[in-house]
Amino acid sequence: MSFVKLTASTLAIAAVSATAAAARDQVQVAGSSTVLPYASIVAEAFGENFDFPTPVVESGGSSAGLKRFCEGVGENTIDVANASRKIKDKEIKKCAENGVTDIIEVRIGYDGIVFASDINGKDFAFTPTDWYLALSDTIMVDGKMVANPNKTWADVNPAFPAQPIQAFIPGTKHGTREVFEDKVILAGCEATGAFEHLLAAAEGDTAKKQKKAAEKACISLRTDGVSVDIDGDYTETLARIDSNKDGIGVFGLAFYENNTDKLQVATMSGIVPSTESIATGEYPVSRPLYFYIKKAHIGVIPGIKEYAEFFVADEIAGPDGPLAEYGLVSDPELAKTQAAVADEATMGSNM
């Protein structure tokens, strides 16, 4: 995607000179592969429009990025972590243990998780139940939990073709995986009645522990090769489908929309994934996207706050900006995020 150079007056952001003394002068970002293309677009435009070096943006997954983020404070640690889910309490705790105590949470917008296959393959209309029955390692048959016997999509749902089940899903270090487990696999487990069955049989001395055990059992996936974890980014998933035309992959909406010449997308619960259906809340598998900033690095590593303000400016993250063109669903509360960034409001602080 090409960009017309933006002016500071257009963005209402003053470009300042990167003169602050620091051991390094480039903002360093890592994390979510879903947020990666948006962050790369912003970093490129930021480098073109400000007197700061272009930020270095790496992928690796939400969990991996937040792990690096929480390693500590200082020039040898990253400044910003991209995430396709909220930071977890245990990650906040790990950050605090390593001196990362003031964290600014920035919600950039929303994205959908889509299920796509080869452009020339069969089309599908999925529900969460279909994916649970296809991928869970145990399913309920005649009131009993048994090892998943399903081999083809027709075994899962008679309306589907007798195509071998082959799913390429995000690995466990990706935030997309957690959303997939919660909004698809767990939802399907609940819809079939298996969750209640598992809950009744769950061990634990508290209701919370029993619920957690039942949820864990629901989202435990097959290990017989039917479900394949993809630890790389979506380009690896696309490559797998290219070499296995029966494969169905889990992608972010933006990646699919930029590869419609290679992929076709399935509906979920009767809804076609689109920026419109995600914005209205109709599409059931969507999630907010974030990045996290170390407040302690602002003013030490030049350009961090300017990068964050640039990222969430109306002209960038708004409904008519370049991120929306790439597939980001603009946050209706973007103005609140802009104010929080401007005020350097940390998590837990009162606005």
- Residue 58 is given by DSSP the state E
Instruction: Name the residue among 294, 268, 235 with its Cα closest to residue 96.
Output: 294
Instruction: Please report, rounded to a whole number, the percentage of residues in the chain having pLDDT higher than 90.
Output: 78
Judge contact between 281 and 139, C-beta under 8 A.
no
CA distance 232 to 106: 24
Per-position pLDDT tens, the chain of length 351: 445 455 444 444 444 433 334 468 899 999 998 899 999 999 999 999 999 999 999 998 999 999 999 999 999 999 999 999 999 999 999 999 999 999 999 999 998 899 999 999 999 999 999 999 999 999 999 989 999 999 999 999 999 999 999 999 999 888 889 889 999 999 999 999 999 999 998 888 798 899 999 999 999 999 999 999 999 889 999 999 999 999 999 998 888 988 999 999 999 999 999 988 988 889 999 989 999 999 999 999 999 999 999 999 999 999 999 998 888 999 989 999 999 999 999 998 654
pLDDT 10s digits, 314-343: 999 999 999 988 889 999 899 999 999 999
CB distance 137 to 147 below 8 Å: yes
Buried b (16+ CB within 10 A) or exposed e, 157-183: beebeebebbbbbbbebbbbbbbbbbb
Is residue 280 classed as helix, strand or coil in its secondary structure? coil
Distance between CA atoms of residues 266 and 273, nearest Å: 8
Classify strands 248-252 and 28-31 as parallel, antiparallel or unpaired.
Answer: unpaired
Nearest CA among 29, 5, 37 for reference residue 253: 37
Closest CA to 295 of 341, 351, 350: 341
- Determine the residue type at 111: D
Q: Are strands 144-147 and 125-126 parallel, antiparallel or unpaired?
A: unpaired
User: If you search the block for the tokens 């969750």, which residue do you land on?
Assistant: 195
In whole angstroms, give the CA distance from residue 198 to residue 176: 25
Instruction: Encode pLDDT of 204-235 as tens digits.
Output: 879 889 999 999 999 999 999 999 999 988 99
Beta strand residue intervals within 269-345, DSSP E: 286-294
Query: Where does residue 316 fall: left (phi above 0), alpha (psi -120 to 50 degrees), or beta otherwise?
Result: alpha
Looking up tokens 């696309």, which residue turns up?
238
CA angle 262, 166, 285 (to 5 degrees): 70
297 alpha carbon, distance to own chain's centre:
25
CA distances from 154 to 51, 167, 276 (A): 58, 15, 31
